[in-house]
Structure 1
Amino acid sequence: MYSLKFVMFIGILSACIICCQGFAKSIRKKSYAASTMELMNLLEVEDKLVDNLNGYVETLKMKLNLMKRSLTAMSTEHNEMQSDYESYLANPLNSFRLIHRLHTSWRKWYHYAFRTENNALVRIENAHHMRMLLPTSLDLEHACRGIDDLMSFYDLKPEELAAGNLAGYSQTDTELTAYDCLALGEFSVQSRKDDLAEAWFNLSLSRFDNIFDQYRAHEALAMLLAKNKQLTAALHHLDNKPEEVAPSHGVTHIEEELATVQNCTVVVQKPSRLHCRYNSTTTPFTRIAPLKMEELSLDPYMVVFHDVIYDREIELMLNSSNFILSLTDSGQESEVRASKDSYIVESKTLNDRVTDMTGLSMELSDPFSLINYGIGGHYMLHYDYHKYTNTTRAKYGDRIATLLFYLGEVDSGGATIFPRINITVTPKKGSAVFWYNLHNSGALHLETLHSACPVISGSKYVLTKWINELPQMFSTPCMKDSNLHPPQNV
């Protein structure tokens, strides 16, 4: 029995070794950039690709010429008909031919236009098989590193290489294209050679003659400058964006980061005719103990409550909390947030008070989150809603509103800003700012974009409550103008 098991084990092990050897042989071990012999093979590949593409173009030309000839004949008859409709259609044969032409001929041409010719299919299949012979991203990286090494050894400048000048050996027909310069710039960014990357990107920009291609270089330069905290210069390059091009995630992040910096340097508040008043209508309790409320905005609805959390409560929370450094989902330190968080034990008293302030149910809502921002502590521009898909949102519900308690005074900085509506809320101990993250229709409210500015001096403590939309079915019914704000895809 033991011998049988041993033989089976040897057999399985042998099969694994054979499979692994076959897999190893299937992996290309050559590097095009490492050998001129391999590069010669690559020239042959390019020759075959050019021939294949030329054949494909000729097939398309034949199809195009046939369609043009037929279109000319049909246009001639159509022009005759246009000269006198009544006379043309008075002849029953013409009427028959018109109906037949539109029913049969045009349908055939439609299918022919979208049909791929057999010869073209062969060309496409050839191109698909030849993809296996093309250089990989690793080959391109090796080639970029080779150029970078040449520059280091012989003290060559990007301008010289781009012009085809190799240490005194100059050949104008070998000058680099705009795309070549762009690729070398991207490699320099990865190699953390920012000055070199900027030079390559500028060369690329000067060589592109198409505005869409130029914007690729502008965007690359903007990302590089933003990485080095040159936000104003980065935004200058983004001003060149064609209207047809949608902003990338990186571009949006730069714009939001710059907006944070600009709005944190000045305290602005949108002038309005809003009021300070006592809120005595949200719950029966507020009728006998109204809350001091200051209106900041009606769209999105935003108010500040004053003197709604007491020193005794604040002291108890701060003394019993264990703070941890803010982390992202991957467990790494966050690049957009500099703070420490702590979840506190749920307090029925505080939950009831939030209900009195907002009129909303605390059922299914997130637990209170206690956040501490030290010197330089901040949170970049963000939204509080989750942007769940329809399926997920129906199950979990999104954050309909946010309530933010301020648990202490900050000597300087630390304001909460809403740049899209020009509102700045300065931390004041005992106060709380409340706003809706969703429209009445349930659509995401894009104007709620906000940021916590860096703390210049002092230590900022805030207590956050994110309120779930699902239990609010009868508290916040859809208003009459809900159709003004349809759901949005962001």
Structure 2
Amino acid sequence: MWVLAVAAAAVVLAAPGRGEVFTSMTDMSRLLTTEGEMIRAIENYIHAQEEKLNKLRKDLNEMERIHDMAAHSPDDFLANPINAYLLVKRLTVDWADLQDAMTDNSMGKAMLSNLTSMADLLRWPDEEDLNGAATALMRLQDTYNLDTAQLARGQILGKKHAYRELTAADCFELGRQSYNSGDHYHTTLWMTEALSRQEAENNKTVHHADILEYLAFSTYMQGNIRQALQLTDDLLHERPNHQRAMGNKVYYEQALTNQEDSTKKGEENDRLDEEAVDKGYTVSENTFANDAYHRERRSYERLCRGESGLPPKVTSKLHCYYQRGPSDYLKIVPAKAELVHVNPTIHIYHDVLSDQEISVIKALATPMFRRATVQNYKTGELETASYRISKSSWLKAEDSEVVAGVNRRIGSITGLNMATAEELQVANYGLGGHYEPHFDYARREEKDAFKSLGTGNRIATFLFYMSDVDAGGATVFPQINVALWPEKGAAAFWHNLHPNGEGDELTRHAACPVLVGTKWVSNKWIHERGQEFRRPCSLDPEAL
């Protein structure tokens, strides 16, 4: 069709070059043939433009449908990780395709230029945002044992949450992002789902061969050479001249031969390893460290899913009570205290922050939000890290009487001096937002962690929950099997240091990824300086 159109256009353009057509009726009659080809070329062009416009209209209608539903309740819409991922994808990958479709004429270019001129008013996500959204979905998938096919259907924990299912192209993009991050495990999961959905689609959203290319290599990287070879053969059947696939096929065939040759050698090595264990050879320290990491990881994920709990002999000692004290605040309003663990002692204080105070703190903190950082224990410098995903800001007492009042309240409840405490840190967790297991206090090797503050180590943590969370988002302590679930207006409190000043390793904790909903918290880290008469150090260096 397009070859004919181009040929016709060439005839039209070339005709004036011959000249003197008017001098012969025979030549004039040939102009009718030329005109016929011109008409067909224009018809082909109009048909192609109509097809493009019809596709644009269809895409636009779908975007409008979802946007209208989202506009009714933006918070609920964005609280769902699938909706959030698809929104980022629409404004990156899908928008790039739409721009390509609109730049073939001056009107489309003008409209795009108008959008560009509004750059100060609009916020466009980039490739890093897209990768972050995809990685967040993978994190949620792993932590909460979410099935790939169910996620693609828009289901989370068996419930329909998303406004639409994922297309093959959506799944393909998740797989592509995993591939770009070197994560071949998730690439395989999502490319397999993309393949299944592509084959069922009437209007294909992605090419079958493109899926096969990614899936084949990631399958190989997962160790399944035979399957990778089969997928590559399927790819070459569709695209016989695919250069990379032809090279990979030769490579996979050789790798398969080498694998078969090494099987016997591997069996012999296994026998030798068993003999080494029998003879009492030691295992490296790295092995033990790796085992400890995986044990903690398993405990962390079980707690995040709510699968672990404390034994009866521990829970029998837990109770709720009204905490009174010498301060005027506690005399008037006793704190609703819940003891959730004995050693280390962890309390939850209920209803210690009002909705109005929460609104003020959020309003003050939001304009100052920056990507949350962690401290490099070697350099002492603050830096972003993939294991902490949130945005945060710091509020001083002089910023608002509300903040000052909250600080005084913490001092009344804990009995600690707030003069040397850090400013109130306010944090909002985004898509899949989390903070992996960590200590709040500085360990011995982190000598310069709080040197600039000059107030010693973090003796205690007071953590406010400023929102409920629909699913996920717990604060968990993997070493002691404790999970604290966000409750708006409540706060958790624990000491990070033993009375002898040593760090309490059992206080190692983590913020589980937010599965559905949004999570707001605020922290008050209380330091050693000024607590000498409120929580005296023990004279016994071994005292815990």
Computing the radius of gyration over CA atoms, which structure comes out larger, 1 or 2?
1
Give the TM-score normalised by the residue count of structure 2: 0.45
Give the TM-score normalised by the residue count of structure 1: 0.50
